[in-house]
Amino acid sequence: MSATNPDSAFTFLSQGALIQEFKVTGHNIVQSFPEAKFYKTHNDAYLGETIGRTTNRVKGAKIDGLNGKSYQLAANDGENPNSLHGGSQGWGKQDFEGPKPVNRNGKEGVQFRYLSKDGEEGYPGTVECFVWYTAGIVGGKTVLEVEYQVELVGDECEETVVGVTNHSYFHVNTEASTTEGTVVTLGTNKYLELDPHQIPTGKIATFPDIGSAGEPFTLGATEPAIDDCFVIDSDAPVSCPLDTRVLPLRHVATISHPNTGLHLEIQSTEPAFQFYTGDGLYIPEAETDKGIKIPSRGKRTGIAIEPSRYVDCAGREEWRGMCRLKKGQTWGAKSVYQAWKE
């Protein structure tokens, strides 16, 4: 899909409704594979995927007290006993219907649809998910708008839990292999304090070593190493609507690199976001049908920025209002990505 300029264009795939290319003045600023087949065989890193039925981690891979029952989920978080990114075969590994060309809000776009059946990865209820991507050039910037919408359409239960985001790894230092030297500005310096298993303790604290909210910091070769959920709205457990699209967009993060002049700004209606500097990232080498070898990519070769609700809100009763979806309700979210070259 073009943003009216071939050097600023997008490519999406039906698997995971994923983002394969995000081109800005000819530069692809997301880590990707050149052929769709590699997303089936080489993508343990979730490159570009739509994450669901929940985002991030669920403590102990178990949800208690939903529909008056307990639900066991897939434990796929390495040494941690949690469920990660919707399970072993979450939405990012599933084939969506689409891309279907649409005109949404007066803009060129594509639509993806996925029907997640009751019991998939342990989650109750059949839900229908729509993902819309719309693109354009606004004020000289390449703009991608992403909307998510989920409804409980099955009759198997009265409620379920939902969370959806995108797991692209952004790389604006396209002249080098790593993100070293990338300048980062976050919309908040508040984060969810974690226990040893990467699950929130319930405390919102100030993240160390990155300065104040809105203060730029630079990624070095190894530091700072970040894999944390930052909090935009500390009142979200009581005030966050199920469909956050009714809220204004808020600044999530901006990244840029002086060597390339490439910038990316992310805004979202969501109350939090995961920021990951890719210190555990590994993308295996591959070979295309034409025999072209794609070298492996390792740690700190991309930055994941995932707008979302709080980590483990599905498993934590006092936070579950952010993600509990009942019959007749709509879960929704919107994020906007603006990129440009100076």
Rounded CA-CA distance 253/228 in Å is 14
State the amino acid at position 137 in one-letter form. Answer: I
- For the chain, the first-to-last Cα distance in angstroms comes to 23
Rounded CA-CA distance 256/193 in Å is 27
Rounded CA-CA distance 9/137 in Å is 10
Half-sphere exposure of 305 toward its Cβ, with a 13 Å CA cutoff?
Answer: 22
From 27, 85, 167, 171, active-site residue:
167
Report angle CA 60, 56, 153 to the nearest 5 degrees.
90
How do beta strands 62-66 and 27-28 pair? unpaired
Q: Where is 297: in which H helix or E strand?
A: none
Place of tokens 């808020």: 250
Question: Catalytic residue at 167?
Answer: yes
Phi, psi of 32, deg, nearest 5 = -155, 175
Query: What is the set of active-site residues?
Result: 167
